[in-house]
Structures are given as C-alpha cells and as structure tokens.
A and B are shown apart, each in its own frame.
Chain A
Amino acid sequence: MPLVYAGVCSHAPGIVGRSDQADPTIRNELYAAFDQMRQGIEATKPDALVVVAAEHFANFFMDNMPSFAIGMANSYTGPIEDTAWLGIDKTKVPGNAELSKRFIKEVMNTSDVAYAEEWQFDHGIMVPLHFLTPNYNLPIIPVNINCQGPPLAPLHRSWAFGESLRAAADALPERIAIVGTGGISHWPATPDSGKINEPWDAEFLDRWCRNDRDALLDYDDTTIYADAGQGGFEIRTFIAISAAAKQAPGTVHFYAPIPIFAVGCTIASYAI
C-alpha cells in the first residue's frame, strides 16, 4: 500500500512543558494546527505511524551511536524526562514488532539501519504523540536519525534513508503514515535558547515545500551550525520526509517563532 501520509512537526519540550509561559493566542494557534494534523493523519486511516525523530541521548550514546535506527517492539515507554518538567505523564505507547520487522527488512534493501527492541521515548517523539495520537491507540514505529552526536551522517544519506522508508512503506500491505519531527533553526538547551533565525527557516521551508532535492542538500553542517544552531542539524528528519514524499509539493500549515518554546514552531505536510 502506498504511503498514506507524510508531514513534519516540531517537538520542542517547551511546547507542552512551558505552555503556560507562551502568548496564549499564538500557542493556541499552534495547538490547533497540531490538531488539524491529527485529523489529517486519522483521515488516512493508517495502520501505523512512523515517527522519524532526532532523539536526544535517551537510547543512543556515543558508545555505540547508529546514524539510523528503527524500533522493533510491541510497546515503548515514555517520556524519559521528568514528567512535571515536560508536562506529559509516563505511559506505554503501542508498537507492532512484527510489522516493524517487516518494515526494517524492506529498509535494509537499500539503507543500513540499526534496530532496537527497547526504546524509551523522549520529547522528540512524546511531544508530537501528545497531540497526534493523544489516546496512544495507534501503533508507532519509531525511527531515529542521529542529529546530536557528531560525526553525523551527511544530508544526502538522510535523503537516501527517506527514500528507503518510502520504499518500505509502499512494499507493505498496511497503510503507513510518516511524520518527521525536529526543529529548523534553534539553539535548544543552551544559553542561547530562544534564538531563532526566521529568514533561514523561511528559506529552508521554501525548499522543503518545493521538495527540491538539490536545494535541500545544499547545506553543510558548518554553515548550519553558524546560521541555524546545533538544533539545525535536525533538518535531517525533515529532509528524510521530503525524500519519502518523492516529488510531492508541500504546504506549511503553521509557522511561528515562539522563543519560550525555543524554536520556530512548524506544522507542514506533503500532498502525496
């Protein structure tokens, strides 16, 4: 069954954990956009949701860091963070080990990927799920791209990985939706938290919506770090979704810099 949904969203912990400190008007607009994304996903009646995230040392560390990893369990737990700090209760999230296994085997035809039968979700997945599957009733296949601990796989490898994810989804009989999560420009968890480069974000999202492979890959980590912060490395998740969407055009449904959330909050999807 061809992929049924492809989109991206922000995952910053402040979106939930510091919700009371944001301007309520813009915060509510963001929440409404998340809810529209939820409805969009549900309308495609997916059997599983693949979440391509950039986890933050919750499961993978520099003792054995995979560039790409996929979960293969019947359930996952999260959040790893202090629940009061994140504003999300600890819960068990459903997975589907058998479906994950078939998905991973398909991905392995074209990309090298680690698999994990244990996975604790951090805010990179829990914040999106808080809005997109609030009842935790849709099986999740977690996917991670290392965006935190350099050396990082180059951007063209994220594109190739996204193509592999698409080929795997298309090869399975189940209806698969896919969502990438991450920031664009941001300096999360540093003294410069709240810094957001709006023009850089606008340029990136323009390239993303045009699904222009050459333009999306025309970045390097040196300039990303300088112009978009270390959080900008997470564009790898957005680029993987672009590849998964093939030539489809994209639409940004919501974008707003919200400094207390430490990122230009984004909700976007492709018309696949």
Chain B
Amino acid sequence: MSLYYVQKFLYEINRSETVRDQYFADRTGSLASYDLTDEEVRSLVEPDIGMLFHMGVNGQILMHFAPLHGIEWFDYLRLMREGIAEHGPVRAGVYAITGYEGVDNHADNLGQQSHAIDGVPSTTSATEES
C-alpha cells in the first residue's frame, strides 16, 4: 500500500494541466512513474472514489479529482459512503482515527439538531455496516 503516492498523483493532477492531459490520454500509462499497487492503479483509473476514500485519501484532494470525471457533489458524497459500507472504515491517513457515524447519529450522540443535507441520507456507522 502506498497511500503517499496515490495522494501525490492526485495532488499533481489537481494542479497541473499537463498531468491531467497525460492522465486522460493514457490513464494507466500516466501512473507508471508512481510506486502504486495494482489496486491503487485500478482505483485511480476507473476511478473508484469509494475505494480511494477507504484507502485514506484526504477528501481535500479527492474532492477535486471527482469533478475532473464529471462527478457531481452529491454523487461524490454517496460514492464515499458506499466505499465505506463496502470496504469498511478508512484504513490509513487522517480519517483513520475514527469511523464515520453519519450526520444524524453524530447529532443524536451530542443531543443536537442534525445538519444532514437534504437529499443525502446519513449513513450508519461503518463499523456496523462492515
């Protein structure tokens, strides 16, 4: 696993038109210089947003990658939730500290009003679902 290089590639494609052009001309080939596993290459080529988030890619990098593929905001959120539901909690990086309890559950735990976004149902705990 080489989360660092997955994120390094995303960092570079987000900020460089040259890297973007290379990626969209030859997705697999554009990744050749990065030390990536087969699973990481597949996730970046498809792209598999849910798996990338499960791997631990920082959302601040991932959310810029998604629009490059025409993925709308709510679909981006949904794909991450589906990735956690399918693969389990985030396995590395800043989000690995805790799982995701969902907006509604978080509000319930704090005795607060939920701020779940309309049209985007909150998920249950990744641990419960996995």
| Residues of chain A having any CB pair with chain B under 8 Å | 14, 18, 56-59, 61-63, 80-82, 84-85, 120, 148-150, 188-199, 222, 225-226, 230, 257, 259-260
How many contacting A-B pairs (Cβ < 8 A)? 93
Q: Which residue of A lies closest to B62 (CB)?
A: A189
Contact of B61 among A57, A63, A225 (CB under 8 A): A57
Contact B77 A193 (CB under 8 A): yes
Query: What are the residues of chain B within 8 A of A199 when measuring CB–CB?
Result: 110, 112
Contact of B112 among A120, A150, A193, A198 (CB under 8 A): A198
Contact B115 A194 (CB under 8 A): yes
Cα-based distance from A80 to B57 in the complex (angstroms): 19
Whether B24 sits at the interface, judged by CB under 8 Å, is no
Query: What are the residues of chain B within 8 A of A230 when measuring CB–CB?
Result: 94-95
Q: From residue A247, how far is it (CB to closest CB) to chain B in Å?
A: 33
Cα-based distance from A195 to B117 in the complex (angstroms): 9
Query: What are the residues of chain A within 8 A of B8 when measuring CB–CB?
Result: 61-63
Interface centre among B73, B84, B98, B115 (most CB of A within 10 A): B115
Cα-based distance from A238 to B129 in the complex (angstroms): 37
Contact B64 A197 (CB under 8 A): no
Cα-based distance from A164 to B8 in the complex (angstroms): 32
Please, how many residues of chain B have a CB less than 8 angstroms from a CB on the other chain? 40
Residues A189 and B59 in contact in the complex (CB < 8 Å), given A58-B15, A194-B103, A194-B120: yes
| Residues of chain B having any CB pair with chain A under 8 Å | 4, 7-8, 11, 14-15, 53, 58-64, 67-68, 73, 77, 80-81, 84, 94-95, 97-98, 100-103, 106-107, 110, 112-113, 115-118, 120, 123
Contact B81 A191 (CB under 8 A): yes
Cα-based distance from A253 to B67 in the complex (angstroms): 33
Cα-based distance from A228 to B60 in the complex (angstroms): 16
Cα-based distance from A58 to B10 in the complex (angstroms): 10
Query: What are the residues of chain B within 8 A of A58 when measuring CB–CB?
Result: 14-15
Contact B60 A188 (CB under 8 A): yes
Cα-based distance from A81 to B63 in the complex (angstroms): 10
Contact of A191 among B15, B64, B73, B100 (CB under 8 A): B100
Q: From residue B102, how far is it (CB to closest CB) to chain A in Å?
A: 7
Sampled A-B contacts (21; CB under 8 Å): A14-B73, A56-B60, A57-B60, A59-B15, A82-B67, A120-B15, A149-B58, A149-B94, A188-B59, A189-B62, A189-B63, A190-B53, A191-B81, A192-B101, A194-B115, A198-B112, A199-B112, A226-B98, A230-B94, A259-B115, A259-B116
Query: What are the residues of chain B within 8 A of A63 when measuring CB–CB?
Result: 8
Query: What are the residues of chain B within 8 A of A61 when measuring CB–CB?
Result: 7-8, 11
Contact B15 A18 (CB under 8 A): no
Q: Which residue of B lies closest to A152 (CB)?
A: B94
Contact of A197 among B14, B95, B102, B112 (CB under 8 A): B112
Query: What are the residues of chain A within 8 A of B94 when measuring CB–CB?
Result: 148-150, 230
Contact A57 B11 (CB under 8 A): yes
Query: What are the residues of chain B within 8 A of A196 when measuring CB–CB?
Result: 115
Cα-based distance from A195 to B123 in the complex (angstroms): 12
Contact A81 B81 (CB under 8 A): no
Query: What are the residues of chain A within 8 A of B14 when measuring CB–CB?
Result: 57-58, 80
Contact A81 B64 (CB under 8 A): yes
- With A148-B60, A260-B118 known, 7 other A-B pairs at CB within 8 A are A149-B58, A190-B80, A190-B95, A192-B102, A192-B103, A194-B117, A260-B117
Q: Which residue of B lies closest to A55 (CB)?
A: B60
Residues A190 and B100 in contact in the complex (CB < 8 Å), given A82-B68, A259-B116: yes
Contact A225 B98 (CB under 8 A): yes
Cα-based distance from A28 to B59 in the complex (angstroms): 28
